[in-house]
């Protein structure tokens, strides 16, 4: 119990006091950006080879919108943060581990609401 309180206070401190990790965060983000692009390239290759799923196509389109990009950025930021936490020693013993479900849901919910109304026009 006490340890969680101490952890929490440290967390608050981390939020206010800039530390070295900031720089690392930025580096990670740029890495993620590159990976994303790689993914896109792969998908396009598949496109040429065979039929592409209409839903995935629409979702990718939606991901390129302003809101889609912003939500994706939020998710990537969270993923990078969790990745960083995972690398730290003693991660397995942590009582409370952060996950990115909420960020993922926000992104996915937006993609759904953006792609779903148009999808069935493309299906038979």
Binding site for other proteins (CB under 8 A): 1, 4-5, 8, 50-56, 75, 78-79, 82-83, 85-86, 95-105, 108-109, 112-113, 115-117, 119-121, 123-124
We find the least distance from the C-beta atom of residue 58 to other proteins, in angstroms, to be 9
Give whichever of 8 and 21 is closer to other proteins, judged by the CB atom. Answer: 8
The three state secondary structure string of the chain is CHHHHHHHHHHHHHHHCCCCHHHHHHHHHHHHHHHHHHHHHHHHHHHHHCCCCHHHHHHHHHHCCHHHHHHHHHHHHHHHHHHHHHHCCCCCCCCCCCCCHHHHHHHHHHHHHHHHHHHHHHCC
Give whichever of 30 and 51 is closer to other proteins, judged by the CB atom. Answer: 51
We find the least distance from the C-beta atom of residue 23 to other proteins, in angstroms, to be 20
């Amino acid at each position: 119990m006490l340890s969680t309180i101490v952890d929490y206070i440290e967390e608050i401190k981390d939020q206010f006091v800039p530390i070295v990790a900031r720089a690392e965060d930025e580096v990670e983000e740029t890495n993620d950006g590159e990976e994303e692009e790689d993914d896109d390239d792969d998908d396009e290759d598949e496109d040429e080879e065979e039929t592409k799923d209409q839903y995935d196509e629409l979702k990718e389109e939606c991901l390129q919108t302003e809101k889609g990009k912003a939500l994706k950025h939020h998710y990537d930021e969270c993923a990078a943060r969790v990745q960083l936490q995972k690398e730290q020693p003693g991660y397995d013993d942590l009582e409370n581990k952060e996950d990115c479900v909420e960020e993922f849901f926000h992104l996915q919910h937006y993609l759904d609401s953006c792609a779903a109304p148009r999808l069935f026009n493309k299906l038979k």
